[in-house]
Amino acid sequence: MEIKELGHLVLYVKDVQRSAAFYGEVLGWEPAFPVTLGVPAAAFSSGRTHHELLLIEVGEDAAPQPRGRHLGLYHFGLKVGDSDDELRAVVTRLQEHGVTIVGSSDHTVTHSLYIHDPDGNEIELYIDVPGVDWKDNPSLIMAPVKPLVL
């Protein structure tokens, strides 16, 4: 078997309308289809495939994401552009929507911002740093993390 690409991510959410508004209106992801699948759900796609994100509502009484070190999802990354100018525009958009940036990092290969969705899932919003050749120098992928200067 050979994995060709990461196909999609499915998240359980407390309120699908609230989460769909966050991923659609705040992050700008396009809805993949206008109707649910017989359950409260919403799907989004960047156009690469039929859906890259599926949200399934499990209700307000669902257990919250645990904090700190735990098994399971730590965060997922969404590429938001190809330049620091585009990342600065993301900062402005997040501020306009009252989204708190909980971290930022210069990973040598990427420049990254970190936020939480309405259910506490951590999301990395990043750009690949132009001119960094990680394919010829894979050690750059694990370079020490530096403060991000935008």
Query: What's the CATH code of the domain at 52?
Result: 3.10.180.10
Whether residue 79 is contained in a domain is answered as yes
48 and 82 housed in the same domain: no
Give the span between the Cα atoms of 14 and 149, in whole angstroms: 35
3-class secondary structure per residue, 16-31:
HHHHHHHHHHHCCCEE
Shared-domain flag, residues 83 and 128: yes
103: domain range? Answer: 75-142
Tokens of 72: 């399971």
Q: Given this model, what pLDDT does residue 38 score?
A: 75
Number of structural domains (the chain) is: 2
Q: 150 in a domain, yes or no?
A: no
Q: What is the pLDDT of residue 39?
A: 78
Q: What is the pTM of this model?
A: 0.94
Query: Rounded to whole angstroms, what are the CA distances from 38 to 41, 42, 133?
Result: 8, 11, 46
Q: Residue 35 has what pLDDT?
A: 64
Match 């309405």 to its residue by tokens: 118
Residue with tokens 């705040």: 26
The two most distant CA atoms of the chain are separated, in Å, by: 49
How far is it, in rounded angstroms, from Cα 125 to Cα 123?
6
Residue 64 is assigned to a structural domain of this protein: no
Same domain for 38 and 85? Answer: no
In the predicted model, residues of the chain with pLDDT beneath 70 are 35-37
Residue 149, in any domain of the structure = no
| pLDDT at site 66 | 85
Q: Are residues 81 and 132 in the same domain?
A: yes
- If you count DSSP H runs as helices and E runs as strands, how many of each does the chain have, helices first? 2, 8
